[in-house]
Chain A
């Protein structure tokens, strides 16, 4: 596993404790929604930097009021075909104005990084021998978009000057 941000492998300061029984102390932690809900006061009292890992059937609106506590929201792709987290990411960025890191975790295919990035993901937990190269390969693939998302890339519809046939 390796974390990619803006095309570069970056160290991951967070420990993903979402599957752990005992939460490590003194390190930045990513916890599950259940862990957050049951250990909220202890986690806040610990002073640790926090991240939250949401499964694909856990929409961000469940946690909208608490988003300010988290530096990272990790959205899970149980299978690459499960596209719910694309909507979750847009909701986080565009509706709930979450400004922290949105991380793609789980079954993350390199071919999907572009769509994920456009929906608001900024880090990607990817596998493969050379993730930086993979990123460079796909980065030049999509210079035109028909849709606007929260990332600010202009649509073809807006770039056209109304010149017809």
Chain B
């Protein structure tokens, strides 16, 4: 894992000191809320419905047990004993007091964390595959490149006042677990024809009101050109992105207005001018220095223990179910990757209490070499668990309600904070997720349904990524009542697609019933091991439309 050196420490410490001064000026009235707003946003502080919300970066999803303990401390001391993990590998605190914010930032800095650029019209937290460095299908570990991009993007003098926010994701595996194609810039580590690994560069993906799957503007980019090419993209966007309408200010609108070909031409033209400047060249020693932080941890010499695990599984059906859903193969013999579900029935997706954080930190040290990961699907990951420890870990996780065996199933729901917290929302998202979680509790039935993602957003801004859920749920408001619009067929993977609208919106109470109807129809239609998404792509919308609205259209009944 990356560790700050003197330069990183100084930079973050200076930001904390600056923000402390700015908060003091705000509290004394020297700064108006209007003047203070850009300053707090650069430090991750939002003003929400009820209080200030602080969004903290977890760079490319990597977290140490020490950092998690500090997050628990912050939740207890400065918030209401919990934190919320987001779809961009951040953690949010919902009840922060303005005058205490500098102390929170100082507490974060003490464990090499920060909230810089987690909001505002700048380059946000760099995200990555949560299994980076551990996945069997990985071509190359994306984390060193994420760290390089992180440093290049932090306090960039030229790109801190972009037309709109800018999100970058990186994956080093063919299976995309990081929603790369739905980012402003997405990068896949890929070999070229000669077997040399570089980056496929995708631009203009995004969700929100105008969802787009990104366009590949470069099939292969040499690694040494990464920063100059990113700088060229950002420069073309900074100059040409729309600034007259915030709804149309993301790079996706620029790319689609110009056409991907023309956008590529502009980027290439700029890139040729800056490509070989020393300012954008990274010394080999620096790349090696960063890469060394992501060297393999102190794994033991083990042999594959699948046979032992298989015996334990056959003796304990519940352990078997958890293995099937939550345990992923590791590239190192004798080890496994373990998902910790933050989607227990009735829990707000992504929420973790301070006590749970402390317990997870303890288990991280005991079972996963002191490091864990945060996924964009709002779950946690232990990257380095010995197979022989799986059963003990499973038992320990049950004690803190983190062993729900539902990863990748329909109760592993992504949801935004919705109207319960967010000033922008039209409808609640968390209670809908909770209702679905309570409706589908039979783990055997969930596993029979198989891979099926449900994503819920409380408004068109799509923070719950509803466009790319296999089933998407969008909260809308009609005459003061909350309704929900379903979409089918979205995907955030390497086969990324946007969902299709099923039909008229339904009430919150009808949502679990409609999901049940969709699932029942899928089970009747699926061929062999076909996933829901594949069945949908084969048969289309009609059978599901009929299943939900069919002969027996659901009653209009909304929750006030």
Contacts and interface: CB of A to CB of B under 8 A. Distances in A.
A156 B152 CA distance: 10
B59 to A, nearest CB: 13
A144 B279 contact: no
Contact of B10 (A82, A112, A144, A165): A144
Contacts of A149: 157-158, 279
Interface string A93-119: 001000000000000010110111011
A137 B18 CA distance: 9
Given A80-B38, A164-B293, A86 B161 contact: yes
A146 B154 contact: yes
Interface string A24-66: 0000000000000000000000000000000000010000000
B309 interface: no
A81 B38 contact: yes
B238 A86 contact: yes
Given A82-B243, A137-B21, A142 B155 contact: yes
Give the secondary structure class of B's interface: helix
B242 to A, nearest CB: 11
Contact of A81 (B7, B161, B283, B285): B161
Contacts of A156: 7-8, 11, 151
Contacts, number: 115
Interface string B151-179: 11011111111110000000000000000
Contact of B11 (A144, A148, A163): A144
B158 A87 contact: yes
A25 to B, nearest CB: 36
**Size bracket, chain A contacts:** 35 or more
Nearest to B238: A87
Nearest to B121: A81
Interface string A150-165: 0000011111111111
A10 interface: no
A165 B292 contact: yes
Contacts of A148: 278-280
A115 B286 CA distance: 24
Residue among A144, A148, A162 with max Cβ neighbours from chain B (10 Å): A144
Contacts of B289: 160, 162-164
Given A86-B157, A146-B11, A162-B285, A111 B238 contact: no
Interface of A: 59, 80-84, 86-87, 90, 95, 109, 111-112, 114-116, 118-119, 137-138, 141-149, 155-165
13 contacts: A83-B158, A86-B238, A95-B273, A111-B39, A144-B8, A144-B10, A155-B279, A156-B11, A158-B283, A160-B289, A162-B286, A164-B288, A165-B292
Q: For the complex of A and B, list the 3 residue pairs with the smallest distance between their C-beta atoms, beginning with the closest.
A: A83-B161, A162-B285, A164-B292
Given A90-B158, A156-B7, A165-B295, 12 more contacts: A59-B239, A83-B160, A86-B238, A115-B160, A143-B14, A144-B11, A146-B155, A147-B152, A147-B155, A147-B156, A149-B158, A164-B290
